[in-house]
Chain A
């Protein structure tokens, strides 16, 4: 009986020991449950192959602008002819105003009509003027008014009005740096672009980016991000704050820029969008206190806001990933570099 009991105990111990040393069941490879072909990348710029290669370089130009102005000219010449001599008195007036104001004035007789109570025509356009006339100050007979011709003297009044276009080209040097910063954070190498001073009688070929690429203005950059200023405006509005006795003074500086990214090798446009930035200063009762906001601060805020809008558009068009510089972006970038682009792994 005792022996039987001992035998049972030892058998149990052997069984327990056997269980304890039993090797673990093989782990099923459940991490990767399937491999399916990946969709081709929507934008080749950030494909895995591109990222595996050296970082792409991009040149970011300063923001180009074209300021269109017009010189309005009004000339009145009074010529008195006598038997022996001709006396001429010329009274020219010229002011430079924005093109849109000149156009509005010409169409409606608007703001500048008091200074120049005439319709303006393009003086450089021969069809708009009488034959034989060119640019001012050469007066042209618009209305010839022979006046009192007592004795042998006669008076002639000559009037001429018109405009000459005056376009100014250049670069805004203080808006692009935050954009360069975000591209650096996104993993691009940013190359300094050569500045392009406007030449005398500069035309719209100033914006010919392909010509500049071929001229080597951007070194060996793979891409060029260039922006052309569409509009820049500043507003100063005061409004009541409902429910209070206070007012709100809002001084706003807004900038809108038309952007394109060009592949320097193929001249293909990789991304294209319009971005805007706003710098705003809000002062409660600012009108009463005579507040004058800092334009430097507004400019900085507008530049940062513009860069943020650029970031959104570049992410939308797959040129950069969202949240540049974040830990998640670094992780994604590493994963994309490590993974084989030809397969998509599905993790449980």
Chain B
């Protein structure tokens, strides 16, 4: 009886050991799930900021009161925090949500101008394209508004507590008049304790 028990235990242990050695487990999670790994800037912050800003911007008079979908450009968000944040992801996410609403059209921003000019040059100046199909130089549409933003943070640490305060600002500026047509902010406070 004892021998049999020992044999079974050994087999079970071996199976368990083999399973453990087979590699890391991979599973898909909910991309919208709240992420609280640490107090640093994370995916939940990104989603909260983009959603709050998009909702507020679409309700602004400049956008909702416009007869036609106004043309805007989106400048990169300035990172004024002490940590590395890829702010391009924030602007891309806001832009995607605004585009999905159909209430705004986007002109190429300054960071996309290199590709735009190269394409125009290729079509207009290479002599390779049929004239009637060429995207002609001089017909780009100017943006009526530009969106600018920044993210800043205040971080406080003690031995056991880390408190992070983020504030994200976004402004909509009329390019012709220079007037600030809309502005809003999103505040986030995160506290991590040990």
Interface residues of A (CB under 8 A from B): 241-246, 280, 282-285, 289
Contact = CB atoms under 8 A, between A and B. Distances in A.
B111 interface: yes
B113 interface: yes
21 contacts: A241-B117, A242-B113, A243-B110, A243-B111, A243-B113, A244-B113, A244-B114, A244-B117, A246-B117, A246-B121, A282-B137, A282-B138, A283-B125, A283-B137, A284-B117, A284-B120, A284-B124, A284-B125, A284-B137, A285-B121, A289-B125
B121 A284 contact: yes
Given A283-B125, A284-B120, A285-B121, 10 more contacts: A241-B113, A242-B110, A243-B112, A244-B114, A246-B117, A282-B138, A284-B124, A284-B125, A284-B137, A289-B125
Task: Name the prevailing secondary structure of the A interface residues.
Answer: loop
A103 B133 CA distance: 50
The main secondary structure of chain B at its interface with chain A is helix
Contacts, number: 30
Contacts of B137: 282-284
Contacts of A284: 117, 120-121, 124-125, 137
In the A-B complex, the 6 residue pairs with the closest CB atoms: A243-B110, A243-B113, A284-B121, A244-B114, A282-B137, A244-B113
A289 B127 CA distance: 14
Interface in B107-133: 110-114, 117-118, 120-121, 124-125
A317 B124 CA distance: 39
A245 B124 CA distance: 18
Nearest to A286: B125
Interface string B130-148: 0000000110000000000
A243 B113 CA distance: 6
Which of A243, A280, A283, A285 has the most C-beta atoms of chain B within 10 angstroms of its own C-beta?
A243
Contact of A280 (B110, B121, B125, B138): B138
Nearest to B114: A244
A241 B113 CA distance: 8
Nearest to A289: B125
Nearest to A285: B121
A241 B138 CA distance: 13
